[in-house]
């Protein structure tokens, strides 16, 4: 079986994370790297486009990262931070399909961005499990078209092949299910901890079935956010409480993890993105210890197998 390599790139807290994974008889990590970036994907995200002057900036930064780490992959995927992306869960009629569904989704986004034009967003959705036969909760993701064209231009300048553009929290589902296969069939809570806040969701069988964003500025806020999210879940009809809590993204002090575990009486784990993923070649040891930062990039590398 001929092996292939896939490259995942994410953006978190002012840095670029890179993960290269080789797929053959088994998947192995061949590169893990990080560097600071001058591109603020959160603040500048909605203003980016294919002719934005920072195309050259990101091409230079990524080109340097690829060269220094001797990246062999020609296929790349990107994970966008959730902040500049429209993400929501709304009821969707099961009769909506094709053009009618697309038109409704554009209308929904227009309620949040009244000044936007129809062509400004690329929108996708999928229905979530529900016993209701006529209307089901729909998970909607809308990405600014300019952000997509920006990354397409960067990829072209680097002479790479673009595979996927996803959201970091959604990409991390694959990292979670690959490294913790025992959570299949269970509700688990996944928390992305960033300088801009916390993204919280419930994942079951590799699929997000509940999602919410919170503001959080300090480690104490993270503890409060977890408690607030669990309280929110208890108010949802038919929602099972999570059997485990997983945290990734920014470093979370061990005493905060212990406090969350004590407050909730639920197993609380800092996501080990390399728990079941072998490492081949030379990878900076500190990065392997802090693999929770690379969860979205690793998830992308795993997804494109």
Closest CA to 71 of 135, 161, 7, 122: 7
SS3 assignment, position 265: coil
Tokens in use for 223? 């503890």
Place of tokens 């292939």: 4
Q: For 250-279, how does the pLDDT look when each residue is reduced to its tens digit (9 = 90+)?
A: 888 899 999 999 999 999 999 999 999 999
Is the pLDDT at 37 greater than 90? The verdict is yes
- How far, in Å, are 202, 272, 274 from residue 223 at the CA level? 17, 20, 25
Q: Would you state the pLDDT for residue 43?
A: 73
SS3 assignment, position 236: coil
Place of tokens 């928390």: 191
Q: Would you state the pLDDT for residue 181?
A: 94
Q: What mean pLDDT is reported for the chain?
A: 90
Tokens in use for 262? 């004590």
Length of the chain: 305
Q: Are 198 and 253 in contact (CB under 8 A)?
A: no
Q: What is the separation of C-alpha 112 from the centre of its chain, rounded to a whole number of angstroms? A: 22
Write down all domains in the chain, each with its CATH number in brackets: 4-82+145-173+274-303 (3.30.420.40), 86-143 (3.30.1490), 181-270 (3.30.420.40)
User: Strands 121-127, 135-144: parallel, antiparallel or unpaired by DSSP?
Assistant: antiparallel
Is the pLDDT at 219 greater than 70? The verdict is no
Q: For 137-175, how does the pLDDT look when each residue is reduced to its tens digit (9 = 90+)?
A: 888 899 999 999 999 999 999 999 999 999 999 999 999
Q: Are 6 and 77 in contact (CB under 8 A)?
A: yes
């Amino acid at each position: 079986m001929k092996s292939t390599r896939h490259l995942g790139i994410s953006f978190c807290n002012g840095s670029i994370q890179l993960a290269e994974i080789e797929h053959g008889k088994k998947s192995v990590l061949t590169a893990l790297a990080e560097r600071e970036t001058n591109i603020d994907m959160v603040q500048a995200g909605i203003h980016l486009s294919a002719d934005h002057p920072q195309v050259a900036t990101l091409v230079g930064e990524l080109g340097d990262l690829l060269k220094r780490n001797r990246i062999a992959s020609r296929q790349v995927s990107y994970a966008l931070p959730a902040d500049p992306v429209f993400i929501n869960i709304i009821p969707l009629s099961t009769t909506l399909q094709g053009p009618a569904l697309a038109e409704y989704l554009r209308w929904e986004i227009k309620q949040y961005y009244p000044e936007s034009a129809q062509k400004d967003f690329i929108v996708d959705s999928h229905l979530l499990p529900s016993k209701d036969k006529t209307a089901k909760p729909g998970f909607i993701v809308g990405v600014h078209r300019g952000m997509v064209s920006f990354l397409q231009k960067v990829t072209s300048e680097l002479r790479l092949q673009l595979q996927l553009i996803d959201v970091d929290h959604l990409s991390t589902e694959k990292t979670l299910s690959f490294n913790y296969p025992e959570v299949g069939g269970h509700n688990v809570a996944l928390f992305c901890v960033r300088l801009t806040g916390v993204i919280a969701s419930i994942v079951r069988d590799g699929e997000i079935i509940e999602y919410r964003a919170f503001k959080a500025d300090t480690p104490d806020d993270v503890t409060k956010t977890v408690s607030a999210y669990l309280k929110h879940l208890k108010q949802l009809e038919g929602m099972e409480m999570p059997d485990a809590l997983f945290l990734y993204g920014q470093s979370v002090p061990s005493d905060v993890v212990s406090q969350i575990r004590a407050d909730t009486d639920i197993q609380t784990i800092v996501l080990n993105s390399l728990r079941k993923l072998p490492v081949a070649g030379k990878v900076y040891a500190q990065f392997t210890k802090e693999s929770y930062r690379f969860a979205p990039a690793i998830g992308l590398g795993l997804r494109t197998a």
